Amino acid sequence: MNDSQNDTPHDDSAPCVSSNGSGTAHDFNLLVIGSGPGGEGAAMQAAKGGYRVAVAEKHPLIGGGCTHWGTIPSKALRYAITSTMTTLNNPMFRQWGLRFSPSMKQLKQGTQAIIAKQVNMRQSFYERNNVPILRGEARFVDDHTIDVDGQRYTADHFVIATGSRPYRPPNVDFDHPCIFDSDTILDLDTKPHSITVYGAGVIGVEYAAMFRNLGIKINLVNTRDKLLEFLDDEIIDALSYHLRDQGVIIRHNEEFESLDGCEGDSGAVMTLKSGKRLKTDIVLWANGRQGNTDTLGLETVGLEPNSRGQLVVDDQFQTARDHIYAVGDVIGYPSLASAAYTQGRAASMHMLGRKDGNLRLNDIPTGIYTSPEISSVGKTERELTAARVPYEVGQSNFKSLARAQITGRTVGILKLLFHRDTKELLGVHCFGANASEIIHIGQAVMNQPAPNNTIEYFVETTFNYPTMAEAYRVAALNGYNRLF
């Protein structure tokens, strides 16, 4: 692996020639637009399958929004906040007289180093697999040609993996120094006393929890009647309770009417349609995403994004044009970096003729980095009840686990949903520290062929002690005790 950053484009003076089957020579078998997780997954899979591949990237550094504005920097900041505040709130350190209030600049110090490591690592992937990076903004010229800053390239297939950006309504002044979106909030250098977060989706609740851990007063404005409705109801209730317990003010069923920045940088006032007016030091607009498709010239190839700039694809990630695929945030839900990478691989495997690629696209786990974390895979109680599936529940409260008691992270629950007759595992839901790691044990068992996909595995398997994984044994036994 090359640890030195190399942004020099590859020499494309002698590209390998491919054909689209009609005798027309093309520069590449596959040209990927965007170097985020979806684009990387597609490029690497196709290159390893023998395709001549290139990637167009308009930004100076590869990695896409995931690396530079979303997942990596936000999770690095979250870790810095969580670890710092855990230490500062430790009674032992308080007894020693440790008192410290970190600034935003101090908390973000390590982020750029992490981003640089990610860029260097991903650059080495492209170099080792002989995938050139075409620097510049890509735009379709015709069905098999794109223009990248004046240079034209042709390809048999294309994968659009241009990602998304925060949705910005026209009546909100994002140039005001107190109004931010989920990209620009990472540039915040001073710690505000209060924040209004508009939008209680995954991004909104993650930032609300993150900033509340710093002692910042939070208004979380939700346009729906409950948080994260796609989650299991019990997990939703637990999240709502703990956010409120930490001091977050949650305002459900509210709609934005206007947002006015105060003179200078003295805060902003949000007016809601209910008549409420919220004045805070800053406002974080976290209500929706917009697909990055407006500059691609899609009209040239007969593709039309929806009102949010997203493309419709089939189960193989093909758009209305069979040779043009789209993956990642640009196709909408679930808008996860993990899902985008798998989608990219699946698209390339389809164009390579390997349709049985064994890529599990229907059991993608959620990973929500609130405090504590939330992760789930499979069906919820609500879905199983609606489908009239006779299920039972097994639970393990983290407060009863020795490992949680040792670490002091006792808030949380692991919940197993299983068929009461076959004992087949139907859903796994976790709320607590390391939930996004813990979930994969249940995911692995749930995807085994019958009869190996039951809670019998957890009952009959010895888990290390003390561990958080032991929660599976406790939850399975708890569920067994409900059967009769």
Divide the 484 residues of the chain into consecutive groups of 10 and give the mean pLDDT of each group.
35 40 74 97 96 96 93 92 81 70 85 93 95 97 96 97 95 94 92 96 96 95 96 96 96 95 83 96 95 97 95 93 96 92 94 71 87 95 97 97 93 97 97 96 95 96 95 97 93
212 and 241 both lie in a single domain: yes
380 and 443 both lie in a single domain: yes
Residue with tokens 């395709």: 51
Task: Kindly state whether residue 438 falls inside one of the protein's structural domains.
Answer: yes
Neighbours of 422 (CB within 10 A): 13
CATH of the domain at 391: 3.30.390.30
**In this structure, are strands 28-33 and 53-57 parallel, antiparallel, or unpaired?**
parallel
Task: Look at residue 52 in the predicted model and tell me its pLDDT.
Answer: 97
* CA separation for the pair 337, 335 (Å, rounded): 7
Task: Kindly state whether residue 9 falls inside one of the protein's structural domains.
Answer: no
Task: Look at residue 355 in the predicted model and tell me its pLDDT.
Answer: 72
191 and 252 both lie in a single domain: yes
Task: Kindly state whether residue 414 falls inside one of the protein's structural domains.
Answer: yes
Specify whether the CB–CB gap between 289 and 169 falls below 8 A: no
Task: Kindly state whether residue 93 falls inside one of the protein's structural domains.
Answer: no
* CA separation for the pair 287, 289 (Å, rounded): 7
* CA separation for the pair 3, 8 (Å, rounded): 15
Q: CA 422 → CA 379, 390, 392, 425, 449, distances in Å?
A: 16, 10, 11, 9, 13
Give the per-residue SS3 of 47-76: HHCCCCEEEEECCCCCCHHHHHCCHHHHHH
Task: Kindly state whether residue 359 falls inside one of the protein's structural domains.
Answer: no
| Tokens encoding 249 | 């003010």
DSSP state of 299: G
25 forms beta bridges with: 19
Element (H, E) at 333: none
Last residue of a domain, one of 269, 287, 305: 287
153 and 41 both lie in a single domain: yes
- The separation between CA 282 and the C-alpha centre of its own chain, rounded to angstroms, equals 24
* Of 136, 117, 116, 128, nearest in space to 35 by CA: 136
* CA separation for the pair 342, 338 (Å, rounded): 7
Task: Look at residue 94 in the predicted model and tell me its pLDDT.
Answer: 67
Residue 127, helix vs strand vs coil = helix
Burial 364-379 (b: 16+ CB within 10 A, else e): ebbbbbbbbbbbbbbb
* Number of domains within the chain: 3
166 forms beta bridges with: 289
As annotated, the binding site for NAD(+) includes 199-206, 288
As annotated, the binding site for FAD includes 75, 162-164, 329
411 and 454 both lie in a single domain: yes
Element (H, E) at 375: strand 374-378
Question: What is the domain range of residue 207?
Answer: 179-287
* CA separation for the pair 480, 185 (Å, rounded): 47
Last residue of a domain, one of 321, 351, 381: 351
CATH of the domain at 150: 3.50.50.60
Task: Kindly state whether residue 383 falls inside one of the protein's structural domains.
Answer: yes
316 and 202 both lie in a single domain: no
Residue 23, helix vs strand vs coil = coil
**String of DSSP letters for 221-281:** E-SSSSS-TTS-HHHHHHHHHHHHHTT-EEE-S--EEEEEEPSTTS-EEEEETTS-EEEES
Task: Let me know how many helices (H) and strands (E) the chain has, helices first.
Answer: 14, 24
* CA separation for the pair 137, 142 (Å, rounded): 16
152 forms beta bridges with: 147
Burial degree of 213 (CB within 10 A; 0-12, 13-18, 19+):
middle
Task: Kindly state whether residue 104 falls inside one of the protein's structural domains.
Answer: no
379 and 455 both lie in a single domain: yes
123 and 161 both lie in a single domain: yes
Burial degree of 425 (CB within 10 A; 0-12, 13-18, 19+):
buried
401 and 456 both lie in a single domain: yes
Compute the radius of gyration of the chain from its Cα atoms. 24
Element (H, E) at 128: helix 111-128
As annotated, the binding site includes 75, 162-164, 199-206, 288, 329
411 and 320 both lie in a single domain: no
Q: CA 423 → CA 247, 451, 453, distances in Å?
A: 40, 9, 8
Task: Look at residue 264 in the predicted model and tell me its pLDDT.
Answer: 67
Burial degree of 93 (CB within 10 A; 0-12, 13-18, 19+):
middle
**In this structure, are strands 268-272 and 277-280 parallel, antiparallel, or unpaired?**
antiparallel
* CA separation for the pair 408, 74 (Å, rounded): 24
Residue 347, helix vs strand vs coil = helix
pTM value is 0.90
Let me know the angle formed at the C-alpha of 115 by 44 and 123, rounded to the nearest 5 degrees.
Answer: 30
378 and 462 both lie in a single domain: yes
Task: State the amino acid at position 148 in one-letter form.
Answer: V
Task: Kindly state whether residue 95 falls inside one of the protein's structural domains.
Answer: no
400 and 439 both lie in a single domain: yes
